[in-house]
Structure 1
Amino acid sequence: MSSSPPPASAPARSGRMSRRGSGNGPQPYDFRRPIKLSREHVRMLQIAFETYGRNAGTLLTTRLRANCNVNLLSVDQVTYDEFINQLSNPTVVAQVSVEPLPGSMLLEMPMVSTMAAIDHMLGGPGGPQPERPLTDVETPLLEDLLKRLLGELRYGFDRLVDISPKLGPIEYNPQFVRTQSPGDAVVVAQFEMKIGDIESTASLCLPFNTILPVLQTEAHAAELTPAERAALDRVRRNLSASLASAPIDVAVRFRGIRMRTDDIIKLVPGDVVPLGHPVALPLAVTVNDATFAHAVPGNQGARLACLVVPPPSKESPA
């Protein structure tokens, strides 16, 4: 008689996303989402989020008058559905507009940290608090705290793009938040948040299509070292020299005509096809069907040749 399989071990923190690449073995690859953030793009985001985390920790310490820390854990690319399904319920999910960028960002803060922060702002000692809906007095305190945190986000992204985050609606059930389609790619930054003795994992979610153009522009505008600039100039000179000496096919053409398919099939050696090219009109000098000069036919010794002439004026006979 076979024994039943052992129960799966419970995750260390319910409703939280695990860091990618922390386990051993192969990682799944979704061919529906082949576009991935490059290592350079991830590093740029890490710098921005680390700056935000340090400033956010300082802000919380000053505002709550308690020892607070916000440290970046990971930056991952997932689908919107994966992000929402990994959030606990209830939790604070605030929609944030990030003008001038399109789309909306999500700022998620666990209820355990939210209630501890509000208790500190009301003069309490913090510590474990009941998870319940906020009162009419507590809601403005939360909104003011989130607006201050968004101000630090603007400073964190200052080197990438000048954004103006604005707080939007706040939801407590993640399933009610639908700013993206379930399969849309998003970039999720997870933070270890400590407010006094309370520890939790907060997160920021940005639409992939919103942040990718910013990263690509910043990567092209990155400051180069003198050695990198010299290498780039050397490559450009070599490329220009190679292109200047590359052979290409050049054609000198008469004006084209249109013929019926059956007339072309009936052609035999000796037939004469009138081209309709005016004698006074120069021929077109083309490369890959693009006309770049005009010429008149002639010869140089025993070889056919052409003489490049100015382009015909608009008054030339058609």
Structure 2
Amino acid sequence: MSGEILSQNEIDALLSALSTGEMDAEELKKEEAERKVKVYDFKRALRFSKDQIRSLTRIHDNFARLLTTFYSAQLRTYIHINVASVDQLPYEEFVRSIPKMTVLNVFQVQPLEGNVLMEINPHIAFAMMDRLMGGHGFGGGKADGLTEIETKIMSNLFEKSLENYKEAWSTIVDIETEMANFEVNPQFIQMVSPNETVIVISLNTQIGGTSGMINLCIPYVVLEPIIPKLSAHYWMQSDRKDPKPSEQKLLQQSIHLAQVPVIAELGSAEVTIQDFMQMQIGDVIQLDSSVESPLVLKVGQRAKFTAQPGILNRKIAVQVIDHLARGEEDGE
């Protein structure tokens, strides 16, 4: 059946046709089975689930925020970066989608195998360089006309930003980033085979009045060892993960050294506001406990022990007599 919603009259007519034999239920099932056949393009093999794509989006949302802070401090101007899309496609298709001459940074993410490619639109790259040189952030210029000095300035700026990529991935895996290559022609960079699946994260970037895209291309071979960690199940497990024995020992030591207030309560009394306002030095307040009754010893705000008063080394002290039962604790 088609995916459209039927009215009640159409449903009644369909049931009537089935009951009178005008329509054959077996033929309908056969047609439905035939419609379930879908065309599959092996050149666009989908190796990542929606769950894993969402995890990658979350990681790079964090990366976009870190980049915004980093570039705002470096360039001293308005910067805004956010994730526009996260897609999986063949490497060849990604190369065709970027300009013929652009700014390309290839960097390693040890201990993961392979390289990651960061493509910065020339308008964005030149706006950054113009700000570094004291300009207003003009985004004009062509990538194929870069001088050695301009190449050095750009590569240094982008290399420093890779520390933010390391931090963005820290919740999943510890990586060490290192710049491997700086290029302007994508045809000179062949990281993987043309049909290899890659993840492309597109970042909307605005620097002052200049806007453009920063694209991150991550080959499947890079993410393959950590794919299980990109599932929601792993995230929930990591949240409930028990501490290691060394962490437990450190936690116990910290708890043992923690200081808590201990209060010996002689008793209590209730007075009216009027009596309280008229209270003078020398007035006596009658407590609700007798002299023979043991004191209540509180740890924090919870009654835990009974005690008797005394003196130790010429200082007022209390001696613990007994431990209060749980019901008596809760009643305090």
Say if 1:53 and 1:226 are closer, same or farther in 2 by CA, change over 3 A: closer
In the alignment, the residues of structure 2 paired with residue 144 and residue 225 of structure 1 have an alpha-carbon distance, to the nearest angstrom, of 36
1:145-203 deviation per Cα after TM superposition (whole angstroms, max 9, x unaligned): 11122111111111111111111111111111111111111111000011111100110
Q: Does structure 1 residue 117 correspond to structure 2 residue 122?
A: no
Q: Does structure 1 residue 58 correspond to structure 2 residue 69?
A: yes
Contact in 2 for aligned 1:44/1:215 (Cα 8 Å): no
Q: Does structure 1 residue 87 correspond to structure 2 residue 98?
A: yes
SS, match of residue 42 in structure 1 = helix
* From 217, 236, 241, the counterpart of 2:229: 217
Q: Does structure 1 residue 68 correspond to structure 2 residue 79?
A: yes
Once the two structures are TM-superposed, the CA of residue 218 in structure 1 deviates from its matched residue by 4.7
User: Aligned letter for 1:67?
Assistant: Y
Once the two structures are TM-superposed, the CA of residue 33 in structure 1 deviates from its matched residue by 4.7
**Which one has a bigger Cα radius of gyration?**
2
TM-score (normalised: structure 2)? 0.57
Contact in 2 for aligned 1:79/1:185 (Cα 8 Å): yes
Matched with 1:159 is 171
In the alignment, the residues of structure 2 paired with residue 144 and residue 181 of structure 1 have an alpha-carbon distance, to the nearest angstrom, of 29
Once the two structures are TM-superposed, the CA of residue 210 in structure 1 deviates from its matched residue by 1.8
Matched with 1:5 is none
Taking the TM superposition and a 5 Å limit, the aligned residue runs for 1:1-318 are 29-132=40-143, 133-219=145-231, 221-224=234-237
SS, match of residue 222 in structure 1 = helix
1:273-296 deviation per Cα after TM superposition (whole angstroms, max 9, x unaligned): xxxxxxxxxxxxxxxxxxxxxxxx
Once the two structures are TM-superposed, the CA of residue 226 in structure 1 deviates from its matched residue by 11
Matched with 2:288 is none
**CA RMSD of superposed structures (Å):** 2.2
Where does structure 1 lack aligned partners over 5 or more consecutive residues? 1-26, 228-318
In the alignment, the residues of structure 2 paired with residue 225 and residue 138 of structure 1 have an alpha-carbon distance, to the nearest angstrom, of 44
Say if 1:225 and 1:156 are closer, same or farther in 2 by CA, change over 3 A: closer
Once the two structures are TM-superposed, the CA of residue 90 in structure 1 deviates from its matched residue by 1.3
Contact in 2 for aligned 1:80/1:183 (Cα 8 Å): yes
In the alignment, the residues of structure 2 paired with residue 182 and residue 52 of structure 1 have an alpha-carbon distance, to the nearest angstrom, of 27
For these two proteins, the number of residue pairs brought into alignment is: 201
Where does structure 2 lack aligned partners over 5 or more consecutive residues? 1-37, 241-332
Contact in 1 for aligned 2:202/2:215 (Cα 8 Å): yes
In the alignment, the residues of structure 1 paired with residue 39 and residue 100 of structure 2 have an alpha-carbon distance, to the nearest angstrom, of 27
Say if 1:141 and 1:224 are closer, same or farther in 2 by CA, change over 3 A: same
In the alignment, the residues of structure 2 paired with residue 225 and residue 154 of structure 1 have an alpha-carbon distance, to the nearest angstrom, of 19
1:77-134 deviation per Cα after TM superposition (whole angstroms, max 9, x unaligned): 0011001111102101111111100011101001111111001000011123222522
Say if 1:123 and 1:103 are closer, same or farther in 2 by CA, change over 3 A: same
In the alignment, the residues of structure 2 paired with residue 226 and residue 121 of structure 1 have an alpha-carbon distance, to the nearest angstrom, of 41
In the alignment, the residues of structure 1 paired with residue 77 and residue 114 of structure 2 have an alpha-carbon distance, to the nearest angstrom, of 34
Bigger helix share: 2
Once the two structures are TM-superposed, the CA of residue 34 in structure 1 deviates from its matched residue by 4.0
In the alignment, the residues of structure 2 paired with residue 225 and residue 139 of structure 1 have an alpha-carbon distance, to the nearest angstrom, of 42
Matched with 2:244 is none
In the alignment, the residues of structure 1 paired with residue 40 and residue 166 of structure 2 have an alpha-carbon distance, to the nearest angstrom, of 33
SS, match of residue 42 in structure 2 = coil
In the alignment, the residues of structure 1 paired with residue 238 and residue 87 of structure 2 have an alpha-carbon distance, to the nearest angstrom, of 29
SS, match of residue 59 in structure 1 = helix
SS, match of residue 69 in structure 1 = strand
SS, match of residue 236 in structure 2 = coil
In the alignment, the residues of structure 1 paired with residue 184 and residue 238 of structure 2 have an alpha-carbon distance, to the nearest angstrom, of 48
Contact in 2 for aligned 1:154/1:165 (Cα 8 Å): yes
1:187-243 deviation per Cα after TM superposition (whole angstroms, max 9, x unaligned): 11000011111100110001112213313135353324999xxxxxxxxxxxxxxxx
